[in-house]
């Protein structure tokens, strides 16, 4: 049963109970009036308030259970007779139904996949086949990050490398040398205006091309 359907059903039940209580109360008041017995209205208000709190607590508990794929009608009585306490407890303690099985299944699938990879590697080793790294099998894939620019900043002799033809955010220009590679940006030196040079900070996410 969906949450909205449950709330409509609960509201209909509440109205039926209220009508029943009203009819009994009316009959009782008529009898007490005939017997000239005084009735304290405050007592009636307190009783109705207590019942309303208990019923609301039951609906709250049922709503929490339904939102976590449990049967709402099973938790309504507990919420009714333990007003406030039971809904708060299940609000923090109740898990999504089936979540434990789903996690267990994912863990088993991951373990099975790892075991298959290990067995495949052992089989290839027995056959004398050596697996090459992915980057070697598919060619070197350029990933513009701090490690990449630290690697190309200097040549084999340790001197500053360059220049490079670069495209950043649709703009083409020449980078003369790499000054510093940081976590999110690379600091470079380029041709400046009036024949000088200038320093630029280039975010890795904006780089489109970087070629010698």
Q: How confident is the model at residue 118, as a pLDDT?
A: 77
Q: How confident is the model at residue 154, as a pLDDT?
A: 83
Query: Would residue 149 count as lying in a domain?
Result: yes
Cβ pair 210, 169 in contact under 8 A: no
Helix 72-81 / helix 41-67 crossing angle, nearest 10 deg = 150
Query: Would residue 182 count as lying in a domain?
Result: yes
Q: How far apart are CA 21 and CA 25, in angstroms?
A: 6
Same-domain pairing of 71 and 149: no
Give residue-wise pLDDT tens across range 144-201: 888 888 888 888 777 888 788 989 888 888 888 888 888 888 888 888 777 678 888 8
Domain that holds residue 57: 3-93
Query: Would residue 165 count as lying in a domain?
Result: yes
Last residue of a domain, one of 93, 114, 148: 93
Q: How confident is the model at residue 127, as a pLDDT?
A: 57
Query: Would residue 131 count as lying in a domain?
Result: no
DSSP code string of 79-115: HHHSTTHHHHHHHHHPPPTTHHHHHHHHHHHHHHHHH
Low-confidence stretches of the chain (pLDDT < 70) are 1-7, 29, 31-40, 97-100, 102-103, 106, 124-142, 195
Q: How confident is the model at residue 139, as a pLDDT?
A: 44
Residue whose pair of structure tokens reads 């510093």 in the numeric block: 180
State if pTM tops 0.85.
Answer: no
Last residue of a domain, one of 60, 93, 126: 93
Q: How many domains is the chain partitioned into structurally? A: 2
């Amino acid at each position: 049963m969906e949450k909205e359907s449950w709330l409509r059903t609960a509201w209909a039940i509440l109205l039926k109970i209220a009508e029943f209580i009203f009819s009994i109360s009316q009959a009782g008041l008529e009898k007490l009036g005939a017997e000239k017995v005084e009735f304290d209205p405050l007592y009636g208000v307190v009783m109705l308030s207590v019942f309303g709190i208990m019923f609301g607590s039951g609906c709250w508990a049922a709503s929490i259970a339904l939102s976590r794929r449990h049967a709402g009608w099973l938790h309504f009585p507990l919420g009714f007779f333990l007003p406030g306490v039971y809904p708060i407890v299940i609000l923090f303690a109740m898990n999504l139904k089936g979540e434990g099985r789903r996690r267990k299944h994912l863990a088993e699938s991951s373990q099975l996949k790892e075991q298959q990879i290990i067995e495949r590697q052992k089989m290839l080793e027995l056959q004398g086949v050596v697996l090459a790294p992915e980057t070697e099998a598919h060619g070197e894939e350029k990933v513009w990050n701090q490690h990449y620019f630290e690697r190309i900043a200097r040549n084999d002799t340790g001197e500053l490398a360059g220049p490079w033809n670069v495209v950043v955010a649709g703009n083409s220009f020449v980078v003369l040398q790499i000054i510093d590679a940081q976590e999110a940006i690379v600091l470079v030196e380029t041709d400046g205006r009036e024949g000088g040079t200038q320093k630029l900070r280039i975010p890795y996410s904006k780089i489109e091309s970087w070629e010698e």
